[in-house]
Amino acid sequence: MKLLAGNSNRPLAEAIAASLRVDLTKATVHRFADQEVFVEIHENVRGEDVFILQSTSYPANDNVMELLVMIDALRRASARRITAVIPYFGYARQDRKPGPRTPISAKLVANLLTTAGASRVLTMELHAGQIQGFFDIPVDNLFSTPLMVPDIVNNLGTEKLMIVSPDVGGVTRARGFAKRLDVGLAIIDKRRERAGVSEVMNVIGDVSGKRCILVDDIVDSGGTLCNAADALLKAGAVSVQAYVTHGVLSAGAVARVAASSLERLVITDSIRPTEAVRVTDKVRVLSVAQFMGEAISRISSESSVSSLFD
């Protein structure tokens, strides 16, 4: 097994390598003066099973291009199998046509990865599960429940706990949390007027006297979570926390969360935490290194990945 890291989330790549007790493959991944991506691999990878660790987070286009060039370099170096390990799959929210003359960019990125020479993809908590069908190569989509549920139990317990989906689209994910914790489920009825702006309309379910936990796959501007927290407290909830897999947290999102009625936001390091995340005491980061390392080990040894969720 060989592990190759891009520049998007080097600390996570190093943590995954440590969990597998494997050294990262020596390589140069840098930019020319005009910002063209240049990759040079300094070890022999002929006939090897190679895993490229790269989240396609901000700057998304640069990181996608880095990943594509690394795949091409490995293919031309005769690697036996190339697995793109993408903890956060950018462009996943563009999985359908929301209106006329709009792209399905998630499909385009899938095509690019396949054409570049990826043999398979390992990712985590895709925004929409059907994105797996955009690929003509195997895709393993890890869920964050085995990581987050024990954390909830250890830190919060389950007494008077209620899992809440911040919108109708996330009900399946929230139901999985509620089932594992054996607690109730509530839903926020949200109406979005335009991208990045949400308005909470109603709380479906009795949250009075409950400690609520909002669960979602992505937190970007933070507006949805903050509005949902206000609505839940207004409906009688005792407290509101949030567990979200991918902390995009663009622009002033961290400040917005810090000033909100959310008691705590828990995210993973699938995206490299910014300085704003590191200094605030309202955001806590869980590491996915051990979890993803185990999945990589199972793929390399041709054993079951799905049994991770049993």
Burial (CB count within 10 angstroms: exposed 0-12, middle 13-18, buried 19+), residue 235: middle
Contact present, 54 and 299 (Cβ < 8 Å): no
Q: Is 224 annotated as a binding residue?
A: yes
Q: b vs e for 219-228, b when ≥16 Cβ sit within 10 Å of the residue's Cβ?
A: bbbbbbbbbb
* Rounded distance between C-alpha atoms, residue 57 and residue 63, angstroms: 7
Q: Is 36 annotated as a binding residue?
A: yes
Going by the DSSP 8-state scheme, the letter that residue 33 receives in this structure is T
* Rounded distance between C-alpha atoms, residue 273 and residue 108, angstroms: 27
The dihedral region occupied by 302, where left means phi > 0, alpha psi between -120 and 50, and beta the remainder, is left
Q: Is 216 annotated as a binding residue?
A: yes
Q: Is 222 annotated as a binding residue?
A: yes
Q: b vs e for 44-67, b when ≥16 Cβ sit within 10 Å of the residue's Cβ?
A: ebeebbbbbbbbbbbebebbbbbb
Residues 6+ apart with CB under 8 A from 224: 166, 167, 190, 198, 216
Q: Is 49 annotated as a binding residue?
A: no
Contact present, 55 and 9 (Cβ < 8 Å): yes
Q: Which of 2, 26, 97, 190 is catalytic?
A: 190
* Rounded distance between C-alpha atoms, residue 302 and residue 1, angstroms: 12
Q: Is 127 annotated as a binding residue?
A: yes
Q: Is 281 annotated as a binding residue?
A: no
Q: Is 21 annotated as a binding residue?
A: no
User: Is 97 one of the annotated active-site residues of the chain?
Assistant: no
- Residues in binding site for D-ribose 5-phosphate: 192, 216, 220-224
- Residues in binding site: 34-36, 93-94, 127, 167, 192, 216, 220-224
- Residues in binding site for Mg(2+): 127, 167
The catalytic site residues sit at 190
- Residues in binding site for ATP: 34-36, 93-94
